[in-house]
Amino acid sequence: MSTRAFDSAALERYRQFLAELLEELENEIIPSLRTGDLKKAPAFGTAPGATEHAAVEYADFHATTWRNLQYLRGTLHGLIAGLQSAIENGGVVDQQVATDMLRLTDGDDLYA
């Protein structure tokens, strides 16, 4: 198995960036869906069928958004842990991690 070395300082900056995103996600965004303004569906008006149709769409939106945020949260935790491990190893990572990191920086979907 081959390895690749990254600049530890650059890895730390990226780890810190991801940690800040995770903090915002966990402290601001998720709470608004769990207990805040976005927990309850808004009033959808009085047009015939508006409440039934819009309420179902909002429930689907809420469930999809919640699920995607949890996936994002897990991904950020994993990336942060991987970066921390690489930092502790002097920037050395195995080839799969190196490939995944390069794909992420290019904007590719890691799971495609």
Region of residue 45 (left: phi > 0; alpha: psi -120 to 50; beta: else): left
Sheet strands (E) in the chain: 3-5, 92-94
Q: For 23-64, how does the pLDDT look when each residue is reduced to its tens digit (9 = 90+)?
A: 999 999 999 888 877 777 766 777 777 777 887 888 888 899
Q: What span, in angstroms and rounded, lies between the C-alpha atoms of 14 and 100?
A: 14
Q: Where are the domains of the chain?
A: 3-105
pTM beyond 0.75: the answer is: no
